[in-house]
Structure 1
Amino acid sequence: MYLKRKIDEFLVQWKNNKDRLPLIVKGARQIGKTESINHFAKKYYSNIVYINFVLEPKYKTILSDGYDADSIVKNITLLDTKKKFIKDDTLLIFDEIQEYPDIATSLKSFKVDGKYDVICSGSLLGIHYQKIHSNSVGYKTDYEMYSMDFEEFLWAKGYDDTQIADLLKHMILQKPFGQTQFEVYKKLFLDYCILGGMPAVVRQYIETNSFSNTLEIQNQIRLDYEEDIRKYAQGLEQTKIASVYRNIPVQLAKENKKFQYNKLGKNARSREYTGCIDWLKDAGVISICYCLHFPELPLKGNYDENKFKLYYPDTGLLISTLDEEAQDDLRANKNLGIYKGALYENFVAEAFLKQGLGLYYYKKENATLEEDFFVRTKDVLIPVEVKANKNSSKSLNQLISNKNYSDIHYGIKLGDSNIGFENNIYTFPYFCAFLLKRYLKKQN
């Protein structure tokens, strides 16, 4: 059972580009990179040469005669005479390139040679921490892949682009959803939050129409991530990196969700852990939301690198870290709000990340003003509040009404409520968060 992914369309567009460059598909492990690439390859190429550097370590010698395409092809066919190369109809797939990153240096030669298409794939774990002679700048295309977003989950459940376009239309026209529509999408959204977007988890859910064994799969994925930390991280950094990764759920559960190093250990200091956080971010297993210096445009460069919140890029994996009683409660009652909004906030961060929106928040030094997220159009800064309850939005109102924040004209509130507009605040249900970038484009 193949699950439709957004990379599918990208790969077709890539192939249709006559001047296409070798492609590198990056992302955390088990998000579906290899499955999507192989699905595309079988559909559009009659000849596929697939090499996995983890399962087939013998191919780690194919650069022994140089980085030029002819030498590499010759060495591949020497190692396996069954592998054939047909000019203009061969896709060469190098998988798990974090095990053999030097192969990236050959991409320039394959582009210049022009006889074969090349796609590389690998987890980010370790890619940035091994010596690469050259990364073929200007001769490759990079594609960042994540676990399934809510739209891809809806596709897996049988919903199509027409229904998704209707969701966006409701947002643009400020038309509240009917009761049935609201309840159906709310249930789907809560199921997605608990499951997350790991293809193996979603597939299990679709095939069984239940949560059966999904938690076991999620737990195994997290254990695999930690195993990769031990495999790729160097020396004592392993323990520190694992400590940061495990501590994120604990810190998100606090009222003050700013990441605090002293929660990692009594004598923990930021200088000891900064590289660990960068490592996890590059690995694709955490995302960072930076605190703005001041709520104004531009966003890039207008933030404090030492103040941030950390999230899991897959809310299902975050939920899988909770204790058994919490797991049972969530799966039975779908009540995410009791966890101080941390789970909803993580979901919104995940939705923003997967849309390519930056992650920024703001908290005034005296704690009198705090906002969960910020997005922007061309000329306007928009605060976004995540509400796990029906309480009023004090900070949101203050940001909109105070003339000191001249780049802010209106705000957005995401919550367990229907579409609405009041006091320059647009309200959308959580299940619309994945459409926010498309909605903002319509506001320009």
Structure 2
Amino acid sequence: MELYRSIIEDLKAWKRNSERKPLILKGARQTGKTWILEYFGRTEFKYTVKFNFDKDHSIHEIFETTKEPSRIISQLSLLTDSPILPGETLLIFDEIQECNPALNALKYFYEDASEYAVVAAGSLLGVALSKGDSFPVGKVEFLNLYPLTFKEFLKTINEKLYSYIEELTEIAPLPQFVTDRLSELYQQYLVIGGMPAVINYFLENKGMEKVKKEQQTILNAYTLDFSKHAENKDIPRITHIWNSIPSQLAKENRKFLYKLVKPGARARDYEDALLWLESAGLIYRVFCTTKPFLPLKAYDDLSAFKVYLSDVGLLRELSGLPSEIIFLGNGAYTEFKGAIAENYVLQSLVPQYDILPRYWTSIGKAEVDFVIQSGSEIIPVEVKAQTRLGGKSLSVYDANYHPACKLRYSLNNLKQDGTLINIPLYLADWTKKIVNFLTLH
């Protein structure tokens, strides 16, 4: 079964753009960047040519000796059986972060050879870019590839149910048979997450042991990246932070605490390690906002933040949470259930909104899980893992700031109560669409 990836539509739009720039596809390791680009080349171009800068270091020499696109194309053509033709060939530079001259050469493809369709990708491209090396600022376009969202997972395995949700035109309860099926699929998604290889094992009925093994393989690959690509001084710090994430999220107050990383740990010693994990696309750092005003970034409390993983399935596996607990429940799982739901909701919100969500707290009174900047609106968000809706956080926020819209995610049905919308967790990927219903009516 072929996985549905919505980014294909963005790639098609890039191809159609007469003023397109070379495209850089960013994303964490194992999110499927190479597969996406090869699929795009196969379906949209006559020829596809790929060069991997990690596997073949001889290619580096070409870019180290010239920046002239015509000479680069001429020399690359000697290394492939397929022609490299304007408009007919997709030219893929994979793991381009391994060759800074190649990254810099994208500028000259834009300025002197824009007729060629050039795309680049790299698992640790964000890390390379954060080092501040020579980079063609303004001469390239970016796309971010995330793990499969629940929406993509749903379209892959149940086209009819996906289409039903896509065709919703109002905020109204869904039929019971629809909510039952979506709840079941949502639980499956919490277990497997959105890494393509993991989902493929699941869809091929290879069993949970294979799913678990593949998740462990990915986690091990991430750990190897720490030791291979990070600065020596940061390797143990990155590892300590990474391993502390489950305990950070297990607290009722999920604010990141350095003492949980290592006794006596200080913020200034671990900042570079946090930035490495962020740049690699492995974590999201959600800052506390001192005031939920526009623009959100201007009111960050840089000393207070939460850390979530980029994939909820990997969080479950990194935490050592047995998959059956997700399906069957357990009294001892109550606390971490909220963390899993929050990670899932954040994972859903990130691709929908340009600004990473923040969170808000009224010291000693309330804490709102996320705050979204949506156009000119600031929207507070509360996440409940089940159907119980206790808590006063949104009420405290409402009394202080009177937002035009408030969101609560839970396993309750889709419903509007004044300015409060209850969005079922399995509809989190449709948040932007649902919020628009409120503004339209």
> In the alignment, which of 233, 237, 240 is matched to residue 234 of structure 2?
237
Provide the C-alpha distance between the structure 2 equivalents of 1:88 and 1:428, rounded to a whole number of angstroms: 44
Shift of 1:419: 2.0
Provide the C-alpha distance between the structure 1 equivalents of 2:46 and 2:66, rounded to a whole number of angstroms: 28
Secondary structure at the counterpart of residue 229 of structure 1: helix
Q: Which amino acid aligns with 1:419?
A: L
Q: Which amino acid aligns with 1:66?
A: T
Provide the C-alpha distance between the structure 1 equivalents of 2:76 and 2:176, rounded to a whole number of angstroms: 60
Distance 1:443 1:175, change over 3 A: closer
Secondary structure at the counterpart of residue 322 of structure 2: helix
Task: State the match for 2:422 in structure 1.
Answer: 427
Moved more, 173-182 or 384-393: 384-393
Provide the C-alpha distance between the structure 2 equivalents of 1:420 and 1:82, rounded to a whole number of angstroms: 58
CA contact (8 A) 2:95 2:123 kept: yes
Provide the C-alpha distance between the structure 2 equivalents of 1:62 and 1:108, rounded to a whole number of angstroms: 16
Task: State the match for 1:251 in structure 2.
Answer: 248
Task: State the match for 2:435 in structure 1.
Answer: 440
Distance 1:379 1:105, change over 3 A: closer
Q: Aligned pair 1:264/2:261, yes or no?
A: yes
The 5 A counterparts of 1:152-231 are 152-159=152-159, 162-166=163-167, 168-169=168-169, 173-208=170-205, 210-231=207-228
Distance 1:184 1:66, change over 3 A: same
Q: Structure 1: give runs of 5+ residues left out of the alignment.
A: none
Shift of 1:179: 1.2
CA contact (8 A) 2:20 2:114 kept: no
Shift of 1:421: 3.4
Distance 1:3 1:119, change over 3 A: same
> In the alignment, which of 339, 344, 355 is matched to residue 342 of structure 1?
339
Provide the C-alpha distance between the structure 2 equivalents of 1:442 and 1:69, rounded to a whole number of angstroms: 49
Moved more, 238-247 or 84-93: 84-93
Calculate the TM-score normalised by the size of structure 1.
0.92
Secondary structure at the counterpart of residue 303 of structure 2: strand
> In the alignment, which of 299, 304, 311 is matched to residue 302 of structure 1?
299
Moved more, 428-437 or 156-165: 156-165
Shift of 1:132: 3.3
Shift of 1:234: 0.8
The 5 A counterparts of 1:257-336 are 257-323=254-320, 326-330=321-325, 332-333=327-328
Shift of 1:378: 4.1
Q: Which amino acid aligns with 2:165?
A: I
Secondary structure at the counterpart of residue 204 of structure 1: helix
Provide the C-alpha distance between the structure 2 equivalents of 1:11 and 1:391, rounded to a whole number of angstroms: 41
Distance 1:316 1:334, change over 3 A: farther
Q: Aligned pair 1:405/2:401, yes or no?
A: yes
Secondary structure at the counterpart of residue 205 of structure 1: helix
Q: Which amino acid aligns with 1:361?
A: Y
Moved more, 294-303 or 187-196: 294-303
Distance 1:202 1:220, change over 3 A: same
**How big is the alpha-carbon RMSD for the aligned residues of Structure 1 and Structure 2?**
2.1
Distance 1:254 1:22, change over 3 A: same
Shift of 1:300: 2.3
CA contact (8 A) 1:259 1:307 kept: yes
Provide the C-alpha distance between the structure 2 equivalents of 1:440 and 1:328, rounded to a whole number of angstroms: 32
Shift of 1:76: 1.9
Shift of 1:395: 1.4
Secondary structure at the counterpart of residue 51 of structure 2: strand
Provide the C-alpha distance between the structure 2 equivalents of 1:435 and 1:240, rounded to a whole number of angstroms: 37
Q: Structure 2: give runs of 5+ residues left out of the alignment.
A: none
> In the alignment, which of 368, 384, 409 is matched to residue 414 of structure 1?
409
Task: State the match for 1:359 in structure 2.
Answer: 357
Task: State the match for 1:137 in structure 2.
Answer: 137
Task: State the match for 1:85 in structure 2.
Answer: 84
Task: State the match for 2:22 in structure 1.
Answer: 22
Shift of 1:423: 6.2
Which string of whole-angstrom CA distances, capped at 9 and with x for unpartnered residues, describes residues 298-331 of structure 1? 32211211110000010000001233xx415325
Which string of whole-angstrom CA distances, capped at 9 and with x for unpartnered residues, describes residues 322-353 of structure 1? 33xx4153255166745251111111111111
Task: State the match for 1:104 in structure 2.
Answer: 103
Q: Which amino acid aligns with 1:97?
A: I
CA contact (8 A) 1:293 1:303 kept: yes
Shift of 1:261: 0.7
Secondary structure at the counterpart of residue 298 of structure 2: coil
Count matched residues. 432
Provide the C-alpha distance between the structure 2 equivalents of 1:72 and 1:300, rounded to a whole number of angstroms: 41
Distance 1:89 1:420, change over 3 A: closer
Which string of whole-angstrom CA distances, capped at 9 and with x for unpartnered residues, describes residues 29-54 of structure 1? 11011101101101122222210112
Distance 1:350 1:123, change over 3 A: same
Provide the C-alpha distance between the structure 1 equivalents of 2:280 and 2:88, rounded to a whole number of angstroms: 33
Moved more, 229-238 or 154-163: 154-163
The 5 A counterparts of 1:108-123 are 108-111=107-110, 112-123=112-123
Distance 1:377 1:52, change over 3 A: closer
Q: Which amino acid aligns with 2:166?
A: A
Distance 1:99 1:377, change over 3 A: closer
Provide the C-alpha distance between the structure 1 equivalents of 2:374 and 2:422, rounded to a whole number of angstroms: 17
Task: State the match for 1:124 in structure 2.
Answer: 124
Moved more, 312-321 or 106-115: 106-115
Secondary structure at the counterpart of residue 409 of structure 2: strand
